[in-house]
């Protein structure tokens, strides 16, 4: 017999790098979370290199960068996910510091049922199909991982814009 988790007790983790591809993953994660009545956890990881770069150019400290990134994640979520999908959806927005693959795996180990992520697909022969972060997450995650094809995300976004209802003039 297969036991099912009661609706509303699960969590879907969606890592973001604030790119358009990540926005597509957030939309897919929101759709799944809404259907399953799960919480949507959107995670951004501030890397040590990003801290150094921003500190040199803007003078911000790490804590300030994390707070500002959380604001940017909210903005990405609100602008990417249609209102009908956001309504009633439990959302957790988080920014943390560290290596992206390590922090994604740590966040997933804290109760995620599924990770939904986009991949840029960049890298050498060893990462021909997935980026290095996505490849490690797929290999080491203790939950399911849904990796979205960058081309499919772009095509869906174009179709959505073409079919979106227009406001009355």
Among 74, 50, 77, 75, smallest CA distance to 64 is for 50
123 belongs to a structural domain: yes
Please give the share of the chain, as a percent, with pLDDT higher than 90: 53
Provide the token pair at 152. Answer: 């499919």
Q: How far apart are the first and last CA of the chain?
A: 56
Residue 138 has a pLDDT of 93
Residue 91 has a pLDDT of 95
Answer whether 48's CB lies under 8 Å from 27's CB: no
The pLDDT of residue 120 is above 90: no
Tracing tokens 């994640």 back to the chain, one arrives at 73
Structure letter (DSSP) for residue 33:
H
Domain hosting 79: range is 11-163
Local structure of 117: helix, strand or coil: strand
46 belongs to a structural domain: yes
Q: How confident is the model at residue 121 (pLDDT cuts 50, 70, 90)?
A: low
**pLDDT tens per residue, range 37-93:** 999 999 999 999 998 898 888 888 888 988 999 999 999 999 999 998 899 899 999
Number of domains in the chain: 1
115 belongs to a structural domain: yes
Structure letter (DSSP) for residue 119:
-
50 belongs to a structural domain: yes
Answer whether 61's CB lies under 8 Å from 92's CB: no
């Amino acid at each position: 017999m297969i036991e099912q988790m009661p609706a509303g007790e699960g969590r879907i983790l969606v890592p973001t790098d604030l790119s358009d591809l990540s926005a597509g993953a957030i939309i897919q994660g929101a759709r799944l979370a809404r259907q399953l009545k799960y919480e949507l956890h959107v995670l951004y990881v501030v890397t040590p290199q990003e801290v150094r770069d921003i500190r040199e150019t803007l003078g911000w400290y790490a804590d300030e960068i994390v707070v500002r990134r959380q604001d940017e994640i909210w903005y990405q979520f609100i602008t990417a996910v249609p209102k009908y999908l956001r309504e009633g959806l439990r959302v957790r927005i988080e920014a943390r510091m560290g290596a992206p693959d390590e922090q994604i795996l740590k966040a997933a180990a804290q109760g995620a049922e599924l990770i939904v992520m986009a991949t840029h697909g960049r890298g050498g022969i060893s990462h021909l199909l997935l980026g290095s972060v996505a490849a490690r997450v797929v290999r080491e995650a203790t939950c399911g991982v849904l990796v979205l094809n960058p081309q499919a995300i772009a095509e869906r976004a174009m179709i959505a814009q073409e079919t979106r209802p227009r406001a009355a003039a």
